[in-house]
């Protein structure tokens, strides 16, 4: 090695000519370093499935033009087809004129069989593992309305049990929803037919609404929802039962995809005791109006001032 | 030899190992999510808890089908039978003070029912018989508030299907029987 080269090797910052050996060695370090860095970023590959540029730049639900909405629905359908292998019918059904939904539940008749809980999961494409359920059936000791005494983990052979009554609790679709008030990004709002909905693409997952709800009605997707492929319900709606992603809120929406088409909600149809009544409160001839006129109904946590659209009553 | 040179190989090896570990995703604990069992489809069934027998009772013994009159043309039971025999053995009578067969069943026409005024009521319209005693419940059922509806709430788009009384209540023991509840929440949400 010449005197000049030796000098160059001593000073790594020297940009002068270097030996072939040094070039290869430094090159190897550099290449392996870059490779390691790129590899360190490899978890970002997983984002490919969840991150969607179109979704990222999508406007708020209320600002979407009908044409843009068409594109959005097509995109959702494509995504669902890719993930679950079924072609869904994704729609965006608008609320009907002169319709305001209300729900009533007869506590004397409810036997706590939890059919409603699972029919809801089946209809609304909720995650099975981890479990997301919109309805919580509280087992309450007779003689109290203290919800602190309610237990929804009861596991018995036969229901009803002696000395208890059962109180299913789900979203009450309040007229003054505290969850809507606290949303910092307006991802949740009340529709003209009384249903409080969530734009799952707009939700940032801050869970303020979950904390604000006095009925514990909101559920959060802590991890990527998993639904068996054969269990997917292809009848989907943008604001209701289309598959959600990790990190968004969801809750009962009175089976919007069914009820806006005139059908009854899934939890009502499956109830073997017929404890549930659903209908249009603006129609004086409807079943729900009959109950409000003839039964002694009450709402949960009236003092919260939320004006729920979900009524309970006792009636043997 | 230069002192910085001897670190080249260890650095390269560390980098390569790191690269390998990142690609194979060896860092951090994988999230373990408990897989919940699928819910039995019987809990999702829309069937009523029993068959309302709208076409009358079907008696089947040893593979032969009978209708009621085949026996009752010859056999006339007493007013208040002490023991239920033959095809009636499975019947548990727990209908409060209504403990007499002929308060509901027709004395001579076995394929029909009879109301308290002696009017013949076909099995198909059994609700007409029940309402003679259970007026307020019948009124609620008529209004669509008692019973388990299915179909449409919006009458302009479709009809609401209302099963009859006997679809949920066994006329011989009308109290709704306890049933098996669907699985409890798994608690991993």
The residue ranges of every structural domain in chain A are: 3-40, 101-313
pLDDT in tens, B94-124: 999 888 888 898 888 888 899 888 899 998 8
- Between the two ends of chain A, the Cα-to-Cα distance in Å is 104
Which of B47, B154, B162 to probe the A interface (max A CBs under 10 A)? B154
Q: Given this model, what pLDDT does residue A213 score?
A: 96
* DSSP summary character for residue B6: G
* DSSP summary character for residue B138: H
Give the whole-number percent of chain A exceeding pLDDT 90.
79
Q: Which residue carries 């860092």 as its tokens?
A: B27
**Is A155's Cβ below 8 Å from some Cβ in B?**
yes
DSSP conformation letters of B37-59: PPPPGGGG----SS---TT---E
As a whole number of Å, the CA-based R_g of chain A is 28
pLDDT in tens, A204-228: 999 999 999 999 999 999 988 999 9
* DSSP summary character for residue A272: T
Q: Given this model, what pLDDT does residue A1 score?
A: 44
Q: Which residue has better confidence, B28 or A271?
A: A271
What are the φ and ψ backbone dihedral angles of A14, each rounded to 5 degrees?
-70, 125
What's the helix, strand, coil split of chain A in %, to 5?
35, 15, 50
Per-residue pLDDT band at A297 (split at 50, 70, 90): very high
pLDDT in tens, B123-145: 889 999 999 999 999 999 999 99
Per-residue pLDDT band at A53 (split at 50, 70, 90): confident
Q: Which residue has better confidence, B88 or B127?
A: B127
Q: Which residue carries 């009978």 as its tokens?
A: B66
**Is A207's Cβ below 8 Å from some Cβ in B?**
no
From residue A71, give the alpha-carbon distance in Å to each of A65, A103, A238. Answer: 10, 34, 12
Dist CA A268 CA A121 (whole Å) = 13
User: In B24-174, where does DSSP find H-type helix?
Assistant: 69-72, 126-130, 135-142
Q: Is A138 helix (H, G, I), strand (E, B) or coil?
A: strand
Rounded to the nearest angstrom, the minimum Cα separation between B124 and chain A is 21
Cβ separation B182–A117 shorter than 8 A: yes
Nearest to B2 among A9, A128, A273 (CB): A9
Going by C-alpha positions, the residue among A297, A275, A277 that lies closest to residue A109 is: A275
Cβ separation A111–B38 shorter than 8 A: no
Per-residue pLDDT band at B4 (split at 50, 70, 90): low
Residues of chain A neighbouring B8 (CB-CB closer than 8 A)? 25-26, 28-29
Contact of A186 with A177, CB cutoff 8 Å: no
- ∠ CA(A227), CA(A232), CA(A236), 5° rounding? 120
**Is B29's Cβ below 8 Å from some Cβ in A?**
no
pLDDT in tens, A93-135: 999 999 999 999 999 999 999 999 999 999 999 999 899 999 9
Q: Given this model, what pLDDT does residue B163 score?
A: 93
Per-residue pLDDT band at B53 (split at 50, 70, 90): confident
* DSSP summary character for residue B2: -
Residues of chain A neighbouring B48 (CB-CB closer than 8 A)? 272
Tokens of residue B186, six digits: 């798994």
Q: Given this model, what pLDDT does residue A11 score?
A: 59
What HEC string does A56-105 produce?
A: HCCCCHHHCCHHHHHHHHHHHHHHHHHHHCCCCEEECCCCCCCCCEEEEE
From residue B67, give the alpha-carbon distance in Å to each of A219, B87, B121, B185. Answer: 55, 11, 17, 47
Going by C-alpha positions, the residue among A104, A111, A140 that lies closest to residue A295 is: A104
Q: Given this model, what pLDDT does residue B5 score?
A: 64
Q: Which residue has better confidence, A12 or A58?
A: A58
Dist CA A279 CA B144 (whole Å) = 11
Contact of A107 with A312, CB cutoff 8 Å: yes
Contact of A21 with A30, CB cutoff 8 Å: no
Architecture of domain A101-313: 2-Layer Sandwich (3.30)
Q: Is B122 helix (H, G, I), strand (E, B) or coil?
A: strand
């Amino acid at each position: 090695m010449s005197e000049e080269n030796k000098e160059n090797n001593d000073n790594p910052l020297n940009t002068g000519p270097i030996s072939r050996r040094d070039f290869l060695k430094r090159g190897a370090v550099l290449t392996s370093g870059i490779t390691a860095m790129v590899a360190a970023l490899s978890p970002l590959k997983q984002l490919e499935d969840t991150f969607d540029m179109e979704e990222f730049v999508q406007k708020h639900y209320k600002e979407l033009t009908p044409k843009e909405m068409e594109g959005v629905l097509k995109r959702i359908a494509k995504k669902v087809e890719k993930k679950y292998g079924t072609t869904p019918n994704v729609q965006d059904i608008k609320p009907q004129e002169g319709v305001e939904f209300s729900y009533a539940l007869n506590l004397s008749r409810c036997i706590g069989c939890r059919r409603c809980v699972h029919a809801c999961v089946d209809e609304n494409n909720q995650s099975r593992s981890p479990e997301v359920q919109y309805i919580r059936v509280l087992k309450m000791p007779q003689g109290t309305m203290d919800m602190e005494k309610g237990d929804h983990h009861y596991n018995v052979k036969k229901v009803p049990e002696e000395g208890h009554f059962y109180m299913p609790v789900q979203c009450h679709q309040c007229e003054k929803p505290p969850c809507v008030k606290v949303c910092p990004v307006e991802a949740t709002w009340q529709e003209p037919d009384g249903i409080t909905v969530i734009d799952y693409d707009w939700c940032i997952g801050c869970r303020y609404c979950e904390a604000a709800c006095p009925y514990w009605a909101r559920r959060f997707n802590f991890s990527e929802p998993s639904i068996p492929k054969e269990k997917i319900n292809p009848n989907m709606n943008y604001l209701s039962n289309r598959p959600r992603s990790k990190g968004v809120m969801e809750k009962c929406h009175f089976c919007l995809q069914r009820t806006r088409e005139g059908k009854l909600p899934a939890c009502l149809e499956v109830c073997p005791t017929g404890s549930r009544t659903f209908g249009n409160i603006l129609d004086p001839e409807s079943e729900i109006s009959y109950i409000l006129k003839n039964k002694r109904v009450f709402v949960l946590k009236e003092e919260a001032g939320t004006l729920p659209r979900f009524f309970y009553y006792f009636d043997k | 030899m230069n002192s910085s040179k001897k670190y080249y190989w260890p650095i390269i090896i560390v980098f390569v190992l790191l690269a390998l570990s990142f690609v194979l995703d060896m860092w951090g604990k994988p999230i373990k999510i408990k897989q919940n069992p699928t819910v039995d489809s019987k809990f999702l069934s829309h069937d009523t808890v029993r068959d309302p027998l709208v076409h009358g009772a079907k008696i089947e013994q040893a593979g032969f089908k009978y209708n009621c009159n085949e026996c009752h043309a010859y056999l006339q039971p007493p007013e208040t039978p002490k023991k239920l025999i033959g095809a009636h053995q499975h019947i548990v009578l727990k209908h409060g003070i209504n403990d007499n067969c002929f308060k509901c069943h027709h004395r001579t026409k076995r394929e029909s029912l009879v109301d308290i005024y002696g009017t013949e009521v076909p099995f198909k319209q059994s609700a007409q018989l029940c309402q003679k005693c259970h007026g307020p419940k019948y009124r609620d059922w008529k209004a669509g508030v008692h019973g388990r509806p299915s179909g449409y709430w919006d009458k302009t788009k479709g009809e609401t299907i209302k099963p009859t009384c006997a679809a949920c209540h066994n006329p011989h023991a009308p109290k709704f029987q306890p049933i098996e509840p669907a699985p409890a929440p798994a608690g991993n949400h």
